[in-house]
Amino acid sequence: WGVLGHATVAYVAQNYLSAATASWAQGVLADTSTSYLANIASWADTYRSTTAGAWSAPLHFIDAEDNPPTSCSVNYARDCGATGCSVSAMANYTQRVGDGRLSAANIAEALRFLVHFVGDITQPLHDEAFEAGANGVAVTFMGFSDNLHSDWDTYMPEELIGGSSLADAKSWATTLISEINSGTYESAKASWIAGDDIGNVVTTATRWASDANALVCSVVMPKGAAALTAEKDLYPTYYDDVIGTIELQIAKGGYRLANWLNMIFETEV
Ligand code: DCM
Ligand code: DCM
Ligand code: ZN
């Protein structure tokens, strides 16, 4: 996701942290503001674009070598490359964030990575190898010639919300929280975290990746990528078809992140 999506995931998560987890996270991040997770949610994207942080670029995705739209699947052994992926990164930073032998700086770094990667895993195209997560799928959205990945990460969410500021993210999060508590997502939210297990991070994060990857076949490119490249403009028909899934995945990411951090605090800290 872009900055709007990551900050929204973070604000949704903040709403579901226990008081004890929240104050632990504020201490780790040295930020007692009301945006302590949102403030660092996109740090990993900034870091990856620096020379010192280039090693972390593969950790933002898992390149599922499946065959959309005919067949979607994630297989950790097949798909997590030698330099690591989002699923191996979840395992590494889930361990490190609770490792009291590490420096305060390393523990804070681990938390910043976790907040970001739980979000990225819910973006279907971050769980897909085809054309590098559809970065290589040329499309037109609202008159711009861009690629399908960036439309999912950034331009479709921004079209929905009308901006990408922290205030925009907070407002989107408020809507999603109300849908989780007593709306569209109320009955599904338990399934979003069912079986999540701090002792089996690879299994858990692979399940999250499989859940989002299945959407590549069913929602992102159900008629294949060529059909999207051939569209005159993805707005409004394609946008209208997929925007509900984008909202669902952001809500899911926030709810999962909160549960994950609550479990980390309860069992590791
Ligand atoms: N990305 C992805 N899968 C890939 C390659 C990249 O999900 N196989 C993501 C990482 C960034 C975005 O796409 O969020 C753009 O990547 P890059 O800057 O490497 O082109
Ligand atoms: N952009 C894009 N697709 C969109 C909107 C914008 O590729 N749907 C690109 C075009 C510009 C950059 O983003 O290079 C900034 O555009 P703007 O300032 O209009 O948001
Ligand atoms: Zn990312």
CB of 132 within 6 A of ligand 1: the answer is: yes
Alpha carbon separation from 161 to 155, 169, 173, 242 (Å, rounded): 10, 8, 11, 15
> By the 8 A CB rule, do 71 and 218 touch?
no
> By the 8 A CB rule, do 108 and 30 touch?
yes
Cα 143 from chain centroid?
27
Q: Quickly count helices (H) and strands (E) in the chain.
A: 14, 2
What pLDDT is stored for residue 223 in this prediction?
98
Is 101 a known active-site residue? no
Distance CA 5, CA 212 (A): 15
What pLDDT is stored for residue 163 in this prediction?
98
Mean per-residue pLDDT, 17-21 = 98
Q: To test ligand 2's pocket by mutation, which of 144, 146, 243 has the most ligand atoms within 8 angstroms of CB?
A: 144
Is 45 a known active-site residue? yes
List 120, 151, 168, 211, catalytic entry: 120
CB of 252 within 6 A of ligand 1: the answer is: no
DSSP 8-state assignment for residue 101: T
**CA dihedral sign of residues 149, 8, 198, 265:** positive
Q: Which residues does 9 contact at the CB level (< 8 Å), separation at least 6?
A: 1, 41, 115, 118, 119, 122, 250, 253, 254, 257
What pLDDT is stored for residue 123 in this prediction?
99
Mean residue pLDDT of the chain comes to 98
List 48, 146, 196, 207, catalytic entry: 48
What ipTM goes with this model? 0.83
Residue of 217, 215, 71, 233 lying closest to 151 (CA atoms):
233
pTM: 0.95
Strand partners, 71: 67
Ligand 1, atom 7, residue with closest C-alpha: 126
Determine the atom of ligand 1 nearest the C-alpha atom of 63: 8
Mean per-residue pLDDT, 175-192 = 98
In the structure, which protein residues have their CB atom closer than 6 angstroms to any atom of ligand 2? 141-142, 144, 146, 155
Determine the atom of ligand 1 nearest the C-alpha atom of 149: 13
One-letter amino acid for residue 195 of the chain: G
Q: Which residues does 183 contact at the CB level (< 8 Å), separation at least 6?
A: none
Residue of 269, 262, 257 lying closest to 112 (CA atoms):
257
What pLDDT is stored for residue 80 in this prediction?
98
**209-225 pLDDT, tens digit each:** 999 999 999 999 999 99
What pLDDT is stored for residue 219 in this prediction?
99
What pLDDT is stored for residue 253 in this prediction?
99
Is 233 a known active-site residue? no
Mean per-residue pLDDT, 227-249 = 98
Cα(60) to ligand 3 centroid in Å equals 5
What pLDDT is stored for residue 228 in this prediction?
98
List 127, 149, 151, 256, catalytic entry: 149
> By the 8 A CB rule, do 64 and 73 touch?
yes
Mean per-residue pLDDT, 140-150 = 98
Mean per-residue pLDDT, 253-261 = 99
What pLDDT is stored for residue 14 in this prediction?
99
**60-106 pLDDT, tens digit each:** 999 999 999 999 999 999 999 999 999 999 999 999 999 999 999 99
Distance CA 73, CA 175 (A): 31
Is 79 a known active-site residue? no
Based on its alpha-carbon atoms, the radius of gyration of the chain, rounded to whole angstroms, reads 18
